[in-house]
């Protein structure tokens, strides 16, 4: 399938969701940043979606570059950042990660639920993300470990690679990068339609040590 197909698909996904003034950040992001006491710096949000992560980070003092293949998502986040007086702290740009990777160096790169029914070499993307970290910076990868009732992917036979498998696929030099977390916690979450469900997250946290 072409990039045009992917753009149309994701534009449709986000256009079908009602715009909200205060999108919520992902739980694994807030627990990581606050739990580790990470000082504000430069962050890259891969697949920014509704913009909850980017807005939360900017509210904590971070300078955020947020990318998504969907123009709908990017335009909504740009408007939200301006309405919250955070326009100078977040830059939202449309980007096809299959074709190229955003330039720059970052203290935090987060990739939450970077899944797609279209072709995407995730290992290459995440390897590029690790290389974009400054020394001491962290890559936070949070994947689905189960399908929520409201997920666009309702194929319940889907196999979700474990965090350790994802780390092996990225294939980083342990002399330069260290896996700080690789587990599969569960939580109760609320979907766009207000329903709640228990879901499993696959959490991988990698730190650049040199």
Token look-up 């790169």 returns 109
List the pLDDT tens digit at each of the 210 positions of the chain.
567 899 999 999 999 888 888 899 999 999 999 999 999 999 999 999 999 999 999 999 999 999 999 999 999 999 999 999 999 999 999 999 999 899 999 999 999 999 888 889 999 999 999 999 999 999 999 998 887 766 656 666 678 899 999 999 999 999 999 999 999 999 888 877 778 888 899 999 999 998
Enclosing domain of residue 135: 3-208
End-to-end Cα spacing for the chain: 39
Q: Which residues pair with 182 in a beta bridge?
A: 204
Give tens-digit pLDDT for 66-78: 999 999 999 999 9
Asked if residues 92 and 78 have their Cβ atoms less than 8 Å apart, the reply is yes
Task: Give kind and range of the element (H or E) at residue 90.
Answer: strand 90-94
193: which 2 tokens? 């339609």
pLDDT for the residue numbered 155: 67
State the Cα–Cα distance between residues 15 and 24, nearest whole angstrom.
18
State the Cα–Cα distance between residues 132 and 40, nearest whole angstrom.
17
Tally of structural domains, the chain: 1
Query: Which residues have C-beta within 8 Å of that of residue 35, sequence separation ≥ 6?
Result: none
CATH code for the domain of 66: 3.40.50.150
């Amino acid at each position: 399938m072409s990039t045009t197909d992917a753009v149309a698909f994701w534009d449709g996904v986000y256009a079908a969701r009602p715009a909200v003034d205060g999108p919520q950040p992902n739980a694994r992001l807030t627990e990581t940043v606050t739990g580790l006491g990470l000082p504000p710096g430069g962050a890259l949000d891969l697949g920014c979606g509704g913009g909850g992560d980017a807005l939360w980070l900017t509210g904590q003092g971070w300078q955020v570059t947020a990318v998504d293949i969907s123009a709908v998502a990017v335009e909504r986040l740009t408007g939200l950042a301006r309405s919250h007086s955070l326009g100078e702290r977040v830059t939202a740009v449309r980007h096809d990660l299959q074709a190229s990777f955003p330039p720059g160096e970052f203290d935090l790169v987060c990739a939450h639920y970077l899944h797609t029914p279209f072709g995407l070499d995730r290992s290459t993307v995440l390897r590029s993300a690790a290389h974009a970290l400054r020394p001491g910076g962290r890559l936070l990868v949070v994947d689905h470990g189960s399908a929520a009732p409201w997920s666009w992917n309702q194929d319940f036979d889907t196999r979700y690679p474990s965090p350790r498998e994802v780390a092996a696929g990225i294939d980083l030099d342990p002399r330069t990068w260290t896996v700080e977390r690789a587990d599969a916690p569960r939580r109760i979450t609320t979907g766009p339609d207000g329903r709640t469900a228990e879901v499993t997250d696959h959490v991988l946290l990698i730190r650049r040590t040199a």
